[in-house]
Amino acid sequence: MNIAVIGAGPAGLMAAEVLSAGGARVTVYERMPSVGRKFLMAGRGGLNLTHSEPLDAFLARYREAMPHLRAAVEAFPPDALRAWSEALGQPTFVGSSGRVFPQAMKASPLLRAWLRRLDQFGVQFALRYHWTGWTAAGALRFETPDGEALVQPDAVVIALGGASWPRLGADGDWIASFRAKGIGIAALRAANSGFHVTWSDLFRDRFEGQPLKGIALALGGETVRGEAMVTRDGLEGGAIYALSAPIRDEILTQGEAVVHVALRPDLTGSELTARFSKPRQKQSMSTYLRKAAGLLPVAIGLMQEAAIAAGLNLSEMDSETLAAFINAVPVRLAGVAPLARAISTAGGISFDEVDAHFMLRKMPGVFVAGEMLNWEAPTGGYLLQACFATGAAAAEGALDYLKR
């Protein structure tokens, strides 16, 4: 069995491992001069491989795509991914948030060990091979430094990613080739992205780059806790990413989205009201909020920014109103950060176009995996887990297809 894998990210490399372990001769084709570039980028701040929460809760993070991803993730669940990493000499640990990391906290040692294993399995790599579609006869077409190359494998697993961080190799240019074959594709959209806020010059210049820690964000009945970072033109960070799908969709349909920020979600309204029961006297409002509610300057600045935008005056609020405002600060999000700056991508090949093994129904022998498929998930290990799992599932599907 001669099988091609196109794309050397986590989904493609996992497909190559499963295929070679299953007895196939595997060549991985990658347009960049080295492999796993986005994987390495993901590991710069600590490689979040997966998450330790119960599997049912884990699967729910994939929202509408959960039924389509369930079998793949159940076949290669978080525990299997941790065991796989440990077998490569990279044991993992569970952080305080439940996220799972390699003890080295980096992607590079894991990737090096992985490539050594693939080499031992006989996997070949063809770098600087840019896939451009199929010939009329069905051969894979590549642009290479030596000109065009045509490849006719027995089957192919394509894992070319979405379109975020295009300088690392995934820019979504595969879409045209698939649409030419009549494959249905949902438009690619930013996921786990920042959002635009029209800050005042005063707030932007003073608080750009400062984190809002220990907050809770609420939108449409959904609430998440975490952190957010004030950027020059908006907000980003873990709490924002966790709500990025509903925020993005509301902006696309309504033109904006209003999230409510709880700056002291650990305190109830009555507890905060009691803290404001003492008169402010000659204290400035900022000093009063800092002492009574334990708020940092960036949180106080956000309250003042939101109050001014709403035509309110914090100094005129009674203790109960002020307490309620602290845990429901309205922030108007007016736009989505560019796709190229997003952590991941929503949209892609419709699940209606693939069978249970991620083979294209219209193109037998062609399998797809990873972010090319129409799913999204928040950060926290869910992205990599699904990429690994769908890569493994597509590879198993290709082996089964060729055996049949």
- Whether residue 376 contacts residue 348, with contact meaning beta carbons closer than 8 Å, is answered with no
Is residue 279 over pLDDT 90?
Answer: no
- 79 and 168 co-located in one domain: yes
Q: Which of 336, 370, 392 is the last residue in one of the domains?
A: 336
Look up the domain containing 250 and give its range.
Answer: 195-336
Q: How far apart are CA 124 and CA 116, in angstroms?
A: 12
pLDDT above 70 covers a percentage of the chain that reads 100
Q: Which of 302, 320, 336 is the last residue in one of the domains?
A: 336
More confident call, 100 vs 164: 100
Q: How far apart are CA 25 and CA 149, in angstroms?
A: 19
- 231 and 349 co-located in one domain: no
Q: Which tokens in the block code for residue 314? A: 């914090």
Tally of domains in the chain = 2
pLDDT, position 280: 82
pLDDT band at 404 (very low <50, low <70, confident <90, very high): confident
pTM of the model: 0.90
- 121 and 263 co-located in one domain: no
Q: What is the pLDDT of residues 252-262, one digit of tens each?
A: 999 999 999 99
- Whether residue 208 contacts residue 185, with contact meaning beta carbons closer than 8 Å, is answered with no
Instruction: Give the chain's mean pLDDT.
Output: 95
Q: What is the maximum alpha-carbon separation in the chain?
A: 83
Q: How far apart are CA 278 and CA 126, in angstroms?
A: 71
Closest CA to 101 of 115, 89, 112, 90: 90
DSSP state of 138: S
- 239 and 326 co-located in one domain: yes
pLDDT band at 278 (very low <50, low <70, confident <90, very high): confident
Sign of the CA dihedral with 388 first, then 15, 368, and 189 last:
positive
CA distances from 335 to 164, 249, 339, 377 (A): 17, 11, 12, 20
Residue that the structure tokens 């429901």 belong to:
328
Residue that the structure tokens 């570039």 belong to:
37
pLDDT, position 35: 96
Q: What is the pLDDT of residues 170-227, one digit of tens each?
A: 899 999 999 999 999 999 999 999 999 999 999 999 999 999 999 999 999 899 999 9
> Over the Cα atoms of the chain, what is R_g?
24
Can you give the CATH number for the domain in which 369 is found? Answer: 3.50.50.60
pLDDT, position 167: 86
pLDDT, position 341: 86
pLDDT, position 96: 86
DSSP state of 105: -
Residue that the structure tokens 């299953």 belong to:
22
pLDDT band at 21 (very low <50, low <70, confident <90, very high): very high
More confident call, 309 vs 404: 309
